[in-house]
Amino acid sequence: MESQLVDPFQRAIRYLRVSVTDRCDFRCVYCMSEKMTFLPKKELLTLEELDRLCSAFVRLGVEKLRITGGEPLVRRDIMTFFRSMSRHIESGALREITITTNGSQLERFADDLYAAGVRRINVSLDTLDGEKFARVTRWGRLPQVMRGLDAAQKAGLKVKLNAVALKDFNDDELLTLTHFCAERGMDLTWIEVMPMGDIGNEDRLGQYWSLNDVRSQLARHYTLTDLPDDTGGPARYVRLEETGQRIGFITPLSHNFCESCNRVRVTCTGEIYTCLGQEGHSDLRAPLRSSEADATLEDAIRAAIALKPKGHDFDYSRQTVDGRVSRHMSHTGG
């Protein structure tokens, strides 16, 4: 389908990321403060409203849908939503439905996700050390996630690990995580920590580990070949010739990816953010609830896309955290 959603810089919007909840069973130090105040239930879109909203985007040309949170699988009855949205996969209107998860609930839901048409998932995992995992997630337990990975691969889901690069935390696990993924046939993507939200006593600048350094360290041990792969997301990929595996780099700070941005994000309250690194957003909940007809909603979506900025302003280069945004990553949905 020719996209009907084109931003002011002639980028066709084909990728929608939707947060279905702001709640999570972890409290990762780069994502949330330990004592979070979550939204009242009445402010969240219902599962039926989420379906209607996503379906409107599909009609307007979106081909890829990623479900995020918080932790999306802690949302009550969330599989009802996945099963309903699978109709767009079956019709061919939607190319894929994917999910980003912390892995804690995969042991319960991996088979159901596959049955609903999900074929690929991203699992956030920053360390393979149990003590460090408990420290970075505050509330998480590594064995639970490992069982989830086993269940996901047994169900037939292709798994990619996402690791946030954290200085003086997992910089000594670069090769360990690489070997782990190679042995299990998983892709691995590294992500630079982003300046989003008040996370208490954590030091954003102190956390920052540039992926330029990650790539340089990998190049000392492997032969890296740049790949033209485009998964619709922000990652740039290389192949490690010795193992054949694919490694991705998401670099919002050291090398931003704005020029090819084809995605927007909708929060669990129906706010659309057309740029992860900007404060500007539009409300889709009011037009969604104001009329049972979809014309008003579709007009609101088009109006929001018309405001999409050229890019974000994240910058650590001056040894300060410039371009910070006030909302937590869990609010926007990653």
Residue 199: predicted pLDDT: 43
**Digit-coded pLDDT (tens) for 252-285:** 665 555 777 889 999 999 999 998 767 789 999 9
Q: Are 302 and 6 in contact (CB under 8 A)?
A: no
30 annotated ligand-binding residue:
yes
User: What does DSSP say about strands 236-240 and 96-101: parallel, antiparallel, or unpaired?
Assistant: unpaired
CB–CB of 31/87 below 8 Å?
A: no
Give the pLDDT band of residue 319 (cuts 50, 70, 90). Answer: very low
For the chain, what is the mean pLDDT?
A: 88
167 is in an annotated binding site: no
Q: How many CB atoms lie within 10 A of CB 1?
A: 12
268 has binding-site annotation: no
Q: Residue 315: CB partners within 8 Å, gap ≥ 6?
A: 253, 322, 323
| DSSP conformation class of 289 | H
If one counts every other C-beta atom within 10 angstroms of the C-beta of residue 224, the result is 15
- The answer to whether the CB of 85 falls within 8 A of the CB of 99 is no
pTM beyond 0.85: yes
Q: Is 59 annotated as a binding residue?
A: no
Tens digits of residue pLDDT in 283-312: 999 999 999 999 999 999 999 999 998 875
Write the DSSP string, 188-231. Answer: EEEEE---BS--TT--HHHHB--HHHHHHHHHTTS-EEEE----
Would you state the pLDDT for residue 303? 96
Q: Does the annotation place 206 within a ligand binding site?
A: no
Is 225 among the annotated ligand-binding positions?
no
User: Residue 199 contacts by C-beta under 8 Å, 6 or more apart in sequence?
Assistant: 29, 30, 31, 32, 33, 328
The DSSP letter of residue 196 is B
Q: Which residues pair with 208 in a beta bridge?
A: 166
Residue 265 annotated as binding? yes
What one-letter code names the amino acid at 142?
Answer: L
Crossing angle for the helix pair 106-115 and 78-91, nearest 10 degrees?
A: 30
Query: Is 35 a known ligand-binding residue?
Result: no
Q: What single letter denotes the amino acid at residue 174?
A: L
- Residue 244, Cβ density class (10 Å: 0-12 exposed, 13-18 middle, ≥19 buried): exposed
Angle, CA of 10, 14 and 19, to the nearest 5° = 120
Q: Please list, residue by residue across 86-98, b when 16 or more beta carbons sit within 10 angstroms of its beta carbon and e when fewer do.
A: bebbeeeebebbb
Element (H, E) at 207: helix 204-207
* Domains and their CATH numbers in the chain: 15-332 (3.20.20.70)
Measured N-to-C along each axis, helices 142-155 and 130-137 cross at an angle, to the nearest 10 degrees, of: 100
- Chain segment 139-176, per-residue pLDDT in tens: 999 999 999 999 999 999 999 999 999 999 999 999 99
Annotated ligand binding at 54? The verdict is no
